[in-house]
C-alpha cells in the first residue's frame, strides 16, 4: 500500500489544531498523511474518505456530498446521530490517540484494497459481495443479506439456469417451512430495487421449467 493523503475538515478549533500538527509530522505514519481542506474543496473534489467532527458532518450531509467513508471525531460522545447519509460513518470518541486513528484508517484502507480485488466487474455495473453493494457508475444499491446471497448464486453461475429448489437450498437451506413464495417475493423486490435505483432492467430472468438466470445480454 502506497502513501495515502487523507483530507480533514473541522469546525472545532482544538481538533483542527491537533490534525494540523499531525499533518506536519513526517514520522506519524509510513502510509498516511493528513491534509486540511475547506468545505468547498471537499465539495469540488472526488474524495472517497474524510476525517471530520460532528458539526462538519452536518454540513457535509446537508450539501449532499458523496463519500465512501467518514471518520467522525465524536466530540460530544453521542451514541447516535440522526443524519441520513449513504456514506459509512465510523465514530471515534474523545479522548483518542493519534496513533490509534492512524492505525484504524490504515487498517480500513488495507481491508478496502483487499475487498476491491473481490469485486465482480461487468460492463455496465459491478458487485462488491463484501459490502453487498451493486454499483452502477456513481450510484449504488446496498442489498439485504438474502438478496446478496441470491444475486451471488446467480452471478457465480452466469452460464447456467438455477432452479427454485436449488436457490432455496443455497440461500435458506430449504427448511423450516420455507417455500417458493419466499424466494419469489425476494426476487421480485430485488428486481424492483435494481430497476428503480440503478436503472438496470431485466437483470434477473426466469424461464419456466428451467429456473432463474442472469441476463448476459446486459452484463
| 47-82 residue pLDDT tens | 889 999 999 999 998 888 888 889 999 987 655 456
Inter-residue contact 71 to 51 (CB < 8 Å): yes
Average pLDDT, the chain: 85
Cell numbers 468545505 label which residue?
39
CB-based contacts of 193, cutoff 8 Å, min separation 6 = 141, 143, 147
Tell me the sheet residues that pair with 211: 207
Query: What confidence tier does 39 reach under pLDDT thresholds 50, 70, 90?
Result: very high
Inter-residue contact 52 to 10 (CB < 8 Å): yes
- pLDDT at position 78, please? 59
pLDDT at 85 over 80: no
* Architecture (CATH level 2) of domain 120-218: Orthogonal Bundle (1.10)
Fold for domain 4-116? Answer: Rossmann fold (3.40.50)
- pLDDT at position 65, please? 87
CA atoms within 13 A on the CB side of 116: 7
CB-based contacts of 38, cutoff 8 Å, min separation 6 = 9
- Looking at the chain, the whole-number percentage of residues with pLDDT higher than 70 is 89
pLDDT per residue over 134-159, tens digit each?
Answer: 888 778 898 998 999 999 888 887 77
pLDDT per residue over 161-177, tens digit each?
Answer: 999 888 888 888 765 55
The pTM of this model reads: 0.55
Domain definitions of the chain by residue range: 4-116, 120-218
How is residue 95 annotated by DSSP? Answer: S
Q: Max Cα separation, the chain?
A: 67
The total of other beta-carbon atoms located within 10 Å of residue 94's CB is 13
pLDDT per residue over 104-138, tens digit each?
Answer: 998 888 887 776 667 787 877 888 887 888 888 77
- pLDDT at position 205, please? 94
Query: What confidence tier does 206 reach under pLDDT thresholds 50, 70, 90?
Result: very high
Please confirm whether the linkage preceding 213 is cis (ω < 30° from 0): no
Amino acid at each position: 500500500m502506497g502513501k495515502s493523503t487523507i483530507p480533514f475538515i473541522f469546525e472545532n478549533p482544538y481538533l483542527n489544531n491537533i490534525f494540523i500538527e499531525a499533518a506536519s509530522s513526517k514520522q506519524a505514519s509510513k502510509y498516511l498523511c493528513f491534509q486540511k481542506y475547506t468545505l468547498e474543496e471537499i465539495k469540488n473534489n472526488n474524495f472517497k474518505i474524510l476525517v471530520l467532527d460532528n458539526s462538519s458532518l452536518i454540513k457535509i450531509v446537508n450539501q449532499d456530498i458523496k463519500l465512501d467513508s467518514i471518520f467522525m471525531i465524536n466530540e460530544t460522545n453521542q451514541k447516535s446521530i440522526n443524519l441520513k447519509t449513504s456514506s459509512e460513518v465510523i465514530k471515534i470518541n474523545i479522548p483518542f490517540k493519534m496513533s490509534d486513528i492512524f492505525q484504524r484508517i490504515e487498517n480500513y484502507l488495507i481491508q478496502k484494497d483487499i475487498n476491491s480485488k473481490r469485486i465482480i466487474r461487468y460492463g455496465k455495473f459491478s458487485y462488491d459481495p463484501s459490502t453487498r453493494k451493486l454499483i452502477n457508475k456513481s450510484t449504488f444499491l446496498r442489498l439485504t443479506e438474502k438478496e446478496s446471497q441470491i444475486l451471488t448464486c446467480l452471478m457465480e453461475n452466469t452460464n447456467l439456469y438455477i432452479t427454485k429448489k436449488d436457490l432455496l437450498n443455497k440461500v435458506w437451506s430449504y427448511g423450516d417451512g420455507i417455500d417458493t413464495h419466499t424466494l419469489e417475493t425476494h426476487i421480485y423486490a430485488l428486481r424492483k430495487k435494481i430497476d428503480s435505483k440503478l436503472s438496470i432492467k431485466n437483470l434477473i430472468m426466469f424461464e419456466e421449467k428451467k429456473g432463474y438466470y442472469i441476463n448476459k445480454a446486459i452484463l
